[in-house]
Amino acid sequence: MLREQINRIEPLYPDVLGAITGGRRISMDALQCALGIFPKRTFVNQPVEVILILQNMVDQPMQIKVGLQLPSQDRKGNPVVIDTPKKLITLGLRPGEVGVLNIPIVALPPTAPGTQFPVRVAVRYRTPVEGNAVRPPTGGAPPSVLSISNFKLQALREVEFIAHTWNESTDVMTTYFDIAPNRMPPTKLDLRVRYESLWTMEEMAEERELAQAKLEDARRVATGMTRSVVYRPLLAAVEEHFGERGMPLHPGEVKAIAKIMTYTLDEGLDLEPGFSLESSRWFQTLCQVLAHDPGLEDEDRGALAVRYLFEAALYDAIVLGFATIDPKVKENLGDLAERRNYANRVLTWFAGQGEPDLSYVYLPLVMGGVVVNMIVTNKGDNPWVMIDELNEATRGRVRLVSGEVVTIFKLMDSLLAQAEDALRRARIPR
């Protein structure tokens, strides 16, 4: 019975929105959106469509209100007349549902040709009760099952979606279109707002079975996720991803995070008590990825880890990182549920919500990297280098912090001192 449970995976819902937009998204806690307009260039009397993809991130139904704000004058102060069937749309999303809302708009005379006409879209949602997350904040694995044809899917992928809100608003987005000089003759237009479901929770049973069928293939791929293969690609990916999210890292910090992530992908889940490969988020994501595209089984393991598994491995590395530092510190670091909640908070920040927080870097990622420093080594690497770089980084960081973060750096000093003692006892020269 235990073996059967281990062999059954329970992956999270797929990232349908990200599969369409190339990862571009605007996160609003329980709802993710992507906004675009197609075509980007039109004529007076010829409609374009505002396209809004909506992805429910929780297991509760959701009522959504979408408001449209259209320009009334251009940048020169000339009048602009844009018609649309509705400026306020209300719709419902089922638990975990993903859908696309098409709102046609048309510029009418006396609107003059021009560029960068703004269309602002406000999105607000409400759920009956607070739901449980069914997707990771950063999106997750691509879908293997969709409710639309490949033709419609390709048409959506041709839309240029934005990845930011207007004036840093939490729920207002802006997209732009141009009006060409030529004017089309006026015609009778049947403008209608359309909503189409792209994926519902009914598809999850098939998604799960397709991922389950890739269990053995995923195990074969996982055996290739060794430190010699994934560490270098992870180094570059850690530096890039944290920098993109407003948290540039020192070299030692990059190395430490790459090491705890490498440990998570390589052997850490087998070595640390209470963990298993099959129950990890990155392995279950791998099963989904292979179900989506079986050809990826032949992909370079380092490239596969960085392109498809990075966020899932980061989540697992946070939970595993707590376990590695637990025996070495006196502080109470919380139970498993608290650690998972913390990992989700870090990924929520990674998805674009909230301000950068140095705690997310050090606790437990950099700290975990210090603990596994001597385990995750490659030929030619001297483990002293990372420790020396971290000592330099923490001296600079600690001068700028206050409050609870000070406690984190006290823990860090203790772990660095223990790591130095271990290197001396192992007689590893600097």
Pairing mode, if any, of strands 31-38 and 47-56?
A: antiparallel
Which residue type is seen at 219?
Answer: R
13 within 8 A of 136, measured Cβ to Cβ: no
Whole-angstrom distance, CA of residue 57 vs CA of residue 7: 26
Whole-angstrom distance, CA of residue 289 vs CA of residue 298: 12
Residue 1 has what pLDDT?
A: 36
Residue 139 has what pLDDT?
A: 85
180 within 8 A of 167, measured Cβ to Cβ: no
Residues 6+ apart with CB under 8 A from 182: 43
Residue 403 has what pLDDT?
A: 84
DSSP state of 352: T
Whole-angstrom distance, CA of residue 415 vs CA of residue 146: 48
Low-confidence ranges of the chain (pLDDT < 50): 1-5
Residue 379 has what pLDDT?
A: 84
99 within 8 A of 200, measured Cβ to Cβ: no
Q: Is the peptide bond before 364 cis (omega within 30 degrees of 0)?
A: yes
Strand partners, 33: 26, 54
pLDDT in tens, 55-67: 999 999 999 999 9
- Beta strands, E only, 226-265: none
Residue 5 has what pLDDT?
A: 46
The helix (H) or strand (E) run that includes residue 82 is strand 81-83
Residue 387 has what pLDDT?
A: 98
pLDDT in tens, 165-214: 776 777 899 999 999 997 778 777 789 999 999 999 999 999 999 999 99
Residue 169 has what pLDDT?
A: 78
User: Can you give the C-alpha Rg of the chain in angstroms?
Assistant: 25
242 within 8 A of 361, measured Cβ to Cβ: yes
Whole-angstrom distance, CA of residue 278 vs CA of residue 60: 27
pLDDT in tens, 355-385: 889 999 999 999 999 999 999 998 888 999 9
Residue 2 has what pLDDT?
A: 38
Task: Please give the backbone phi and psi of residue 112, each rounded to the nearest 5 degrees, phi first.
Answer: -95, 155
Task: Please give the backbone phi and psi of residue 272, each rounded to the nearest 5 degrees, phi first.
Answer: -85, 130
199 within 8 A of 146, measured Cβ to Cβ: yes
Residue 203 CB coordination number (10 Å): 22
